A and B are shown apart, each in its own frame.
Chain A
């Protein structure tokens, strides 16, 4: 894992989303510890999202299907949460959904940040 590239992921995301980005953090899925995060990130929220991912994976086993590259949760109010699990890490991104349309997020931003994230993790 390349720490500089991880930080680069967050910087790139800030540049792409601007004020639409509310918070972002990359955590270890093993223990929920935060590796890197933006200024306004909520550590407890990132850890909770880690648990959500685990429960989703467990639930999907019953079908069975497997979680892919991301999931998105619309949150009451003006927030949307995008989670990108990859290997032993997960990238949590909280956006202002009034400013960041879902289509932009999933079709434009997501493909590039997934590539950057995977590159940072495997480097």
Chain B
């Protein structure tokens, strides 16, 4: 038994027929072939699967693909424009905001959402904004620096 879904994925309309129980993260990774979003815990605790759904940062491991039907979904693969990195991606690179890179796509999507909604965050705002994203490598310090640098870079 499959259900038809239609959504806009990284700006491109798309239609698929999926099992109702298919998680959005598995849809993105295995149906749409976008493996940038990762699975770290399957329980919405680590944030490695964070994507944007209708402008909100969502943990795609605890949302069904059918729930994304009719919505706009943006993943890490969809935020660089015209071959130019998004300012948050650029800041993560400049500030050494990643090591193993596994949490990074979700972390970048959370920081992007934070800056979209709070363009001038304090350090405490940033730490609170990424509290739902776990990183075991960086101690978060250079992620905080990257968020600060991206905020400074403006729109």
A, B co-complexed: no
B residues contacting A by CB (< 8 A) are none
